[in-house]
Every structure is written in C-alpha cells, then in structure tokens.
Amino acid sequence: MSRYTVFGNPIAQSKSPLIHHMFAQQAGLEITYERTLATEQDFISSLSTFFVDADAQGCNVTSPFKEQVARWVNELSAGAKIAGAVNTVIKKEDGTFLGDTTDGKGLVQDLLRLNVQIKGARILLLGAGGAARGVLQSILALEPKLLMVANRTQAKAKQLALLLPQDNFVGIDLNQLNEVQQPFDLIINSTSASLSGELPSIPDSVISSGACIYDMSYADKPTVFLQHAQKLGVLNTFDGLGMLVGQAAESFYLWTGYRPDVLPVIQKLRSTL
C-alpha cells in the first residue's frame, strides 16, 4: 500500500490526510496518509527515515520546512526553482527525489473554477513572502495585463519582480498604491494578516465593486479582508480553501497520475469548518 505523509510544525491541524483519503476513494486506490511533526533539527533525518520504507511514494511539506526540503531533493521543478521552496516530494523510479511546488497551480485552478478572469486582467498581489513567490509563475503563465506585487518593503517586492522579468510584472511599496489611478480586476492577499485578524493596509480606492477579492487564508467565516471588501460592495469574495484542496489535488496527480474532482472535497471541508 502506497504511503504518504505531510511534514510540518505545527501539523496537528492539517487537513491533508482527510483530503488525500477522499482523493484516493475517488481514484479507487488504497493509501495511507499521515501527519509527521518535526523540528528544524530533526526534519531531514525524519524525511530520510520516512523514505527508507519502500511503500513511501511521496510527501507534502508545509511550514517551516519548504525551503529546507528544496535543498534536500535531487532535482527541482522549474516552478520550485523560482519559488525557492518545495511543498511536494515525488520519489522517482530510479530512487531519486523530485521537489515541486503545487501552490500556484492550486491557486489558478481555484480561480478558474470560480470563473475569475486572469488573462488580460489587472492583478494586485499583496505580500512578497513565500506564499507570493510560490504562485508567481502560474499567474503570469495565464497572461494578465498587469501583475503588481505590493509589499511593506519595496525592495522585497522588486526582488520578486526580478525573478521573472517582464513588462507586465512590477513590484512596489504598499504606500505607492495611493498613486494607482485605476482599480484592479483581481486582488489576492498572500499575507498572513488575516490569520491574526488584521486588515491589509491598502487604500479602498484600488478596490472596485466589480473586482474579485481572494484571500489565501480561510476560516469558518469570511476573513477580515473579505468582510471589508464586502462592506465596499464587492460581490465576488473568496477564501483560500479551494486553493488548499487544489494544491493537494495537484500533488495527488503528480504521485498517482489521477486528477481528482476537487468540488466534493471543498464542500466536505467547508461543512467541517
């Protein structure tokens, strides 16, 4: 029986086992999928020990180990090289390990599922940390008119823009949003502000009622950012639960070759929040 796990710290709250067991049920596969708590000191040894088992076919990696595992694998996908991080490890037939990142595909697949237009759109991405870095390539591949990354420190936003230099991709300081004349079609919050109940510090002028507002965080009720957008009259507001399931679906596909139906899994998780 194929065996998988997710490494992280903390990890007890992870929904990955539930998600992947539902995927396996769809695919008619028998798998085991566990949670593995590790520390920064013993993560690599725990990872190596897991793969000693011949049944271990792959694993997911979450915070704070995504960058550490990127240095451990034998090979990185193009997306993982840009992200500088890995959330999915695949054991290849020759016994070597490929590191990939599925966050970006999870995001864009969820946006497309929600009928959000990306091609030709003006997109604002809030934050320039690992979450933002992991989705850049997937967003730009769908040819937006503009992808603007706004961060508290302009230097970090500009560093991201240099990863994939092209005319429609820029990095700015959050304060510079006050100078933006035209609202955005899509605003994506990749910061952790919502997790602590804080509102991203952006002017209301960049949010139009016809825009789509997407928060990578999720909870049992709309995040403070989504609530604020709704008060401004925005009808299309979405949290990141679909992205969570979408990135897991991409991992499952990389391991098994089966592409699961995400909708029933999203609905099931939503009912348990």
Q: Which domain holds residue 191?
A: 104-242
Q: What is the CATH number of the domain that holds 90?
A: 3.40.50.10860
Asked whether residue 239 is marked as a ligand-binding residue, the answer is no
Same domain, 63 and 181: no
Same domain, 212 and 96: no
DSSP state of 175: G
Which residues, including other chains, have CB under 8 Å from residue 93's CB and lie 6 or more apart? Answer: none
C-alpha dihedral, 73 to 79 to 83 to 87, nearest 10°: -50
How many separate domains does the chain show?
2
66 is catalytic: yes
Across-strand partners of 124?
148, 187
Asked whether residue 14 is marked as a ligand-binding residue, the answer is yes
**Beta-sheet strands, E only, within 154-215:** 169-173, 184-189, 207-215
Same domain, 185 and 225: yes
Asked whether residue 152 is marked as a ligand-binding residue, the answer is yes
pLDDT (0 to 100) of residue 194: 87
Q: Is the pLDDT of residue 196 over 90?
A: no
Mean pLDDT score, 66-86: 96
Q: Please report, rounded to a whole number, the percentage of residues in the chain having pLDDT higher than 90.
A: 93
- Please check whether residue 125 lies inside any domain of the structure: yes
Q: What is the H or E stretch that residue 89 is in?
A: strand 88-91
Q: Is the pLDDT of residue 77 over 90?
A: yes
Asked whether residue 153 is marked as a ligand-binding residue, the answer is yes
DSSP secondary structure of 201-252: ---GGGEEEEEEEEES---SS--HHHHHHHHTT--EEE-THHHHHHHHHHHH
- Please check whether residue 266 lies inside any domain of the structure: no
Predicted TM-score of the model (pTM): 0.95
Mean pLDDT score, 106-134: 96
Same domain, 197 and 108: yes
Identified catalytic residue from 66, 145, 158, 268: 66
- Please check whether residue 60 lies inside any domain of the structure: yes
Contact (CB, 8 A) for 143 and 120: yes
pLDDT (0 to 100) of residue 174: 94
Q: What is the CATH number of the domain that holds 152?
A: 3.40.50.720
Place of tokens 């949290």: 239
- Please check whether residue 264 lies inside any domain of the structure: no
At 151-183, the pLDDT tens digits run 999 999 999 899 899 999 999 999 999 999 899
